[in-house]
Chain A
Amino acid sequence: MLEQPKDFIGNILAILTSKPLARPDFKDIVAKWKMVVVLETDYYPVTIRFDKGMRVEHGDIPHPTLRVNAKLSTIIELVKGKTSPIRALLNGGLKVKGILRHPRATLRFYRLISSSLKR
């Protein structure tokens, strides 16, 4: 489903998402998605492409479907379960551009992330 990324954050995302993507039903659902998400971090940005699967690349692209901004420390808080995506959105730790224009893509990405963060 996911080609192994060459960069550090890409690898973390690949490992986190590997659990939900290992479920055949969810894998089939994600395979139908067509969108691009840029995750901006305080380290560097990565581009996550959904097109017959998922691919993570180092770097930014203009005009993604969604642009998510979070510090790596916030991502770690999410991973540890010390905060939730909704709480992080509300307190500004997580910012998303494109929510209003692409609500379905937002819901899909939220679903992937929240499944990845489940313990």
Chain B
Amino acid sequence: MSLKQKLISIVGEQYVSDGLAEKYVYSFDMTENPPKRPAMVVMPESVQQLQQIVRIANKDRVPLVPFVTGQNIGGLTIPQVDDAVTVDLKRMNKIVEVDDEAMYAVVEPGVTFGHLRKYLDEHNPSLTYTYPLAPPYTSVLANALLQGLCDLSTMRGAMGDFINGLEAILPTGEIVRAGSAIMGDGNWFGRYPLPDLVGLFSGWQGMSGFVTKIAVQLWPKKQFTRHAALFTFGEVPTTELLKRIARAQLIDDADCMSLSIVKMLLGVSPPVQVYGGEPDYGTLLTLSGNIEKEADAKYELIETFVEDARKNESRQLLVDWDAISRMLGDQAKSWVDFPSDAFKVLTEYDGLTWVGTYIHPKHWGEALSGGRKIVEKYGFELMAYLKPMNSMHFGEFKFIIRFPKDDATVEKVRHCNEELLDFALSLKALPYKTPVWAAKKLQQNADPGFVELLKRIRKTLDPNGIMNPGRWGL
């Protein structure tokens, strides 16, 4: 029996394809990473079906590439080897459980941010999850496992920190659990006190198995949310002010972006240029309170920090949302929605990329000014993005590039991104949602013991090397 026939016997003919059109669709993403076609695409519906697929692949040594929506900016679902089978998990889309008391949700891979939001609004309205810098139709599970950022990251960290536990199919076909649900269902409250085996799957980009269920923390929905905009000049003054605001634990979220991005949201046509005298950065601040007074008090404190900053640069400006709504009109909402609605401006062309890194706060100013010089040298639009993370313990920064995918521009993007990453690595920043080329550069700079440990764990879990081979350059 051929591999295709075996897969059809598991999921049915409708959910297996080796057609040219399907292979093409699954061969690329928006980034400059080189495309590669899988040999076949299969779409299981259940854990049992997926387990059977993994067992066959392990026996026949067939490379498997996990896929949900393919919206990442890192080429993460592009096969790296020949004859790979892309396993599209979007049919596994059950919200298994929401626990209102311990505030968590257990979901399958195909559950999107949109699904979860709708479900919570209907069934658990006092709770909220979060949304990523991605469209609402991206996977909750994939974003958490890839340790991405979200609209609660300034306060609570990367989405990987929200994982309470998971269920996974190992490359050898066994089903395992990590976290408190090792004691049984209805008990996904946390990861401790245990050896933290979530780490065998979080950040691995599907190299260690298929995660079939994940428990993620939910949060109480605050009654009052306020937004404000901060317009600032200079990389160091901007980041110093942001650090002060974030460190005071006043904000749920801060999205600091080049003013060009704000202008894009206003509808300025490409290429968006920087004009002398414009603020360098526009930062959207989100703060909340259980009562209005709490939110107002937080805002007042931020005002005093900005007033202090104005002693050195009188043009630093905090603007409340009522004024922003009048000044920016309908586009003010686009700014608030930017993280989940970003793609409407970012997909001006068919290409979109960035090198996202997590970085020590002491390097933020240098990272923004150095990265800016690189982007300007290559002549791309200036689209820096910085977010204080996890109550100011670190930050995320990146330079976003939107580009037409002609050969010359793609080559220029590759050079620019390489230079940006080299610069970030020189500041000891760590790339996240790492494309293969970036992971290889990281390994050249990282502690060799760490790289050796990765290889050893991978070999132990996946002796036949079927799970996403070539990913991370391992």
Contact between chains at A4 and B319 (CB < 8 Å): no
B290, CB-defined interface residue at 8 Å:
no
B118, CB-defined interface residue at 8 Å:
no
* Interface stretch (choices A9-17, A84-92, A93-101, A102-110): A9-17
Task: Select A76's contact among B263, B268, B319, B329, beta carbons within 8 Å.
Answer: B319
Contact between chains at B279 and A12 (CB < 8 Å): no
Task: Select A79's contact among B262, B277, B317, B327, beta carbons within 8 Å.
Answer: B327
Contact between chains at A80 and B322 (CB < 8 Å): yes
Contact between chains at B315 and A79 (CB < 8 Å): no
A40-52, CB under 8 A of B: which get 1 and which 0?
Answer: 0011110000000
A58, CB-defined interface residue at 8 Å:
yes
**CB of A118 to closest CB in B, whole Å:** 11
Interface residues of B in 282-311 (CB under 8 A from A): none
* Chain B positions within 8 Å of A7 at CB level: 263, 275, 278
Given A44-B276, A44-B277, A72-B315, is A6 in contact with B268 using a C-beta cutoff of 8 Å? yes
Contact between chains at A11 and B322 (CB < 8 Å): no
Given A15-B328, A79-B323, A80-B323, is A43 in contact with B268 using a C-beta cutoff of 8 Å? no
Q: What size tier do the contact residues of chain A reach?
A: 20 to 34
B326, CB-defined interface residue at 8 Å:
yes
In the complex, A95→B326 CA distance in Å?
A: 23
Interface residues of B in 236-263 (CB under 8 A from A): 259, 262-263
In the complex, A11→B273 CA distance in Å?
A: 13
A19-50, CB under 8 A of B: which get 1 and which 0?
Answer: 00000000000000000000000111100000
B444, CB-defined interface residue at 8 Å:
no
In the complex, A9→B263 CA distance in Å?
A: 10
* Chain B positions within 8 Å of A15 at CB level: 266, 327-329, 331
Contact between chains at B329 and A18 (CB < 8 Å): yes
Interface size on B, residues (CB 8 A): 26
**CB of A106 to closest CB in B, whole Å:** 24
Which of B268, B279, B322 is the most central at the interface, judged by chain A CB atoms within 10 Å of its CB?
Answer: B268
Task: Select A43's contact among B273, B277, B319, beta carbons within 8 Å.
Answer: B277
Task: Select A8's contact among B263, B314, B322, B331, beta carbons within 8 Å.
Answer: B263
Interface residues of B in 325-381 (CB under 8 A from A): 326-329, 331
Contact between chains at A12 and B275 (CB < 8 Å): no
In the complex, A5→B314 CA distance in Å?
A: 25
* Chain A positions within 8 Å of B266 at CB level: 11, 15
B2, CB-defined interface residue at 8 Å:
no
In the complex, A44→B274 CA distance in Å?
A: 12
* Chain B positions within 8 Å of A43 at CB level: 277-279, 315
* Chain B positions within 8 Å of A72 at CB level: 315, 317
Contact between chains at A16 and B326 (CB < 8 Å): yes
* Chain B positions within 8 Å of A45 at CB level: 277
B312, CB-defined interface residue at 8 Å:
no
* Chain B positions within 8 Å of A12 at CB level: 327-328
Contact between chains at A8 and B279 (CB < 8 Å): yes
Contact between chains at B275 and A4 (CB < 8 Å): no
Contact between chains at B268 and A73 (CB < 8 Å): no
In the complex, A58→B278 CA distance in Å?
A: 10
Given A8-B275, A11-B266, A44-B278, is A76 in contact with B327 using a C-beta cutoff of 8 Å? yes
In the complex, A59→B266 CA distance in Å?
A: 20
Chain B residue, CB-CB nearest to A73? B317
Chain B residue, CB-CB nearest to A116? B326
Which of B267, B277, B315, B319 is the most central at the interface, judged by chain A CB atoms within 10 Å of its CB?
Answer: B277
Contact between chains at B267 and A6 (CB < 8 Å): no
* Chain B positions within 8 Å of A8 at CB level: 259, 262-263, 275, 278-279
List 9 tightest A-B contacts by C-beta distance, closest first.
Answer: A44-B277, A15-B329, A7-B275, A58-B275, A11-B266, A8-B278, A12-B327, A80-B323, A43-B277
13 contacts between A and B (CB under 8 A): A4-B269, A7-B263, A8-B259, A8-B275, A12-B327, A15-B331, A42-B315, A43-B277, A44-B277, A72-B315, A76-B323, A79-B326, A119-B326
Chain A contact residues, CB within 8 Å of chain B: 4-9, 11-12, 15-16, 18, 42-45, 58, 72-73, 76, 79-80, 119
Known contacts A43-B279, A73-B317, then 8 further A-B pairs from the complex at CB < 8 Å, ordered by chain A residue = A6-B272, A8-B259, A8-B262, A11-B263, A12-B327, A16-B326, A79-B326, A80-B326
